Amino acid sequence: MRPDAAALVAPAVGRDRVIAFDKRGGAAGVAGIVRTARAVREAGFDAAIAVQRSLRTALVLALAGVPRRIGFAGAPGAPFYHRRVVASGRHARDRLLSLVEGLDVPRPDPPPDPRLVVDPAASRAVATLLSEAGLAPSDRLLVVAPGSAWATKRWPAQRFGSLARALAPEFDAVAIVGAGGDAALAAAVVRGLSAGGGKTPLAIDLCGRTDTAGLVAAIERSGLVVANDSAAGHVAGALGRPVVSLFGPTVPAFGFAPIGPRVRVVERDLECRPCARHGGDACPIRTHACMESIEVAQVAAAAREALADPGPGIPAAGGVAARRTSGDRP
């Protein structure tokens, strides 16, 4: 696994081992493929399921001599697999589960939801960070994630702050999570938080101050997560936290919406959506209406719905849908 993904999985594997494969770092190039293949060979696997479609992963598994290799039909690495499975299902979770058929194991029905285990050390470190920032153990924490790798997938950051203020009756503090490069977004969130009357929740900027395990721990501590279509929403869903996920240029029908019992998706009904498979750096029609037209009040309503007892989706007014997501109904 990629090192950042390995950090997500490591606490759950117990006595098993995660082999990190940093294709852009220490495992780059042919030498990296050979080195990783050696580590896989030494681990002595009986079978391998390649969830990556990549040729590089297939090469690693073939060079390692894993005797039973399973992957997706049509993938670039498919010639190196012993069994090629045709992916089926609408959500990515279901398509990945197709691969167990390559082991002659029936697909679990209903499919299990993703699940994450929190690293206790990360949990302690995040508790210390939050405490030093002024959060009391009984304080209710909202987590917002204003970042995304793609500019078009970002809801205006200031609105996350306005949202936190709107949700002040429900929360005492808001933690802003993201990478170190999200500092400007975090500052915009704080500006949004400062504007207007009423109670102002405590703002805690965690951008760049947690690693992946720390992000999981911070979300585990939260009572609600509001995020763009990005990693934080998936983590929150897998932890069973209430989460509101904001979709713009992409759509849940692509199969990548967070899964969880208390997930709500907010999205605008526009003819130009979707305009990209993964998002983009600039809106092709220069309006960015998909995100700009999502109002704070609508996200706050979805948040309150997620906080309440989960139930069937409720279409919101104004062409913005707030609905519960599950893997079989993207």
85: amino acid identity, one letter: V
- What DSSP character marks residue 152? G
Question: Considering the rule CB under 6 A, would residue 161 count as an interface residue with ligand SF4?
Answer: no
Q: Minimum Å distance from CB 291 to ligand SF4? A: 7
Residue carrying the six token digits 């975090």: 186
Q: Minimum Å distance from CB 139 to ligand SF4? A: 36
Question: Considering the rule CB under 6 A, would residue 278 count as an interface residue with ligand SF4?
Answer: no
Question: Considering the rule CB under 6 A, would residue 253 count as an interface residue with ligand SF4?
Answer: no
Among 221, 121, 123, CA closest to 173? 221
Q: Which of these ranges, 69-77, 125-133, 219-227, 265-273, lies near ligand SF4 under the rule CB under 6 A? A: 265-273
Task: Give the neighbor-by-neighbor strand order of the sheet with 83-85.
Answer: 48-49, 69-72, 83-85
Question: Considering the rule CB under 6 A, would residue 248 count as an interface residue with ligand SF4?
Answer: yes
* Cα distance between residue 177 and residue 204, in whole Å: 9
Is residue 255 within 8 A of residue 91, CB to CB? The reply is: yes
DSSP assignment of 283-299: -TTS--HHHHT--HHHH
Among 200, 183, 116, 201, CA closest to 146? 183
Question: Considering the rule CB under 6 A, would residue 151 count as an interface residue with ligand SF4?
Answer: no
Of residues 84 through 113, those in contact with ligand SF4 by CB under 6 A are none
Question: Considering the rule CB under 6 A, would residue 284 count as an interface residue with ligand SF4?
Answer: yes
Q: Which of these ranges, 182-190, 223-231, 254-262, 284-292, lies near ligand SF4 under the rule CB under 6 A? A: 284-292
Q: Which of these ranges, 140-148, 165-173, 200-208, 288-296, lies near ligand SF4 under the rule CB under 6 A? A: 288-296
Nearer to ligand SF4 by Cβ, of 93 and 288: the residue is 288
Cα R_g (the chain), whole angstroms: 21
Interacting residues with ligand SF4 (CB under 6 A): 152, 248-249, 270, 272-273, 275, 283-285, 287-290
